[in-house]
A = this chain, B = another copy of it.
Amino acid sequence: MNERTTLVTDLNVFANFRPTLPSTYTDSPFIFLGNIDPTLQRSVLTQVKAKPKAVGLDTMNYWIERTPAELKETLKHTQILMINDDETRQLTGEHNLTRAAKMIFKMGPKTLVIKRGEHGALMVHDRFLFSVPAFPLETVNDPTGAGDSFAGGFMGYLASQKNVTEQSLRRAMVYGSVLGSFCVEKFGVERLTRLTRSEISARARLFSRLTAFQL
């Protein structure tokens, strides 16, 4: 949790931070609310003019403990919640993740993405489950930013599609994992800044090979 602790320290320094969307962003159909104060997350959302096709949200123990009412209000406007195992349990008070997911569905999101770092990610949707492994890498240099890279790949893929369907959500999980796997190969954003489309496609095909079987 070191990275996240640092984040909160930064937020305290910037206590007067009031995010303002550039005007070209206010009609975005796909919104991802990064891990900040849920009141600020909602203030971003109110700046979006048209009803978004999908709103994703990341949060953490700090907000779950200190601003639970604000977080639950923001969750009402969220379709996709991306958190880890511990956060899922803390938010619901339920240890079992499939039961916890059902409680989260009542809070607003109908899609829960449980991020598990080196163990991949699990999507619990109210009509299906989907699991994707982490990509087995020879070298992991820096896990910082893997979760945000996952979210970026996930939301970016969804935004490239006309509609949010079961198939596009499954593929979004794969592209999220692809971006997360590139992120950790080098320090900071070093690997991501020189990443090409063809590298992304090639690794997505490797995920397919990694998980495919015929009964």
Contact = CB atoms under 8 A, between A and B. Distances in A.
Interface residues of A, number: 35
A204 to B, nearest CB: 6
Given A116-B119, A119-B116, A119-B119, A136 B213 contact: no
Q: Give the copy number.
A: 2
Contacts of A120: 119, 131, 133
A119 B117 CA distance: 11
A206 to B, nearest CB: 8
B215 A204 contact: yes
Contacts of A75: none
Interface stretch (A33-41, A55-63, A169-177): A169-177
A98 B138 CA distance: 6
A120 B204 CA distance: 20
A129 interface: yes
Contacts of A14: none
A122 B137 CA distance: 13
Contacts of A214: 167, 170-171
Given A174-B215, A205-B215, A214-B167, A98 B136 contact: yes
Contact of A131 (B96, B137, B171, B211): B211
A4 interface: no
Nearest to A204: B215
A21 interface: no
A174 B213 contact: yes
B210 A215 contact: no
Given A129-B136, A211-B211, 14 more contacts: A98-B138, A120-B131, A122-B133, A122-B136, A129-B209, A131-B133, A131-B211, A133-B133, A167-B214, A170-B213, A170-B214, A171-B213, A171-B214, A173-B213
Interface of A: 96-99, 116, 119-120, 122, 124, 128-133, 136-140, 167, 170-171, 173-174, 204-205, 208-215
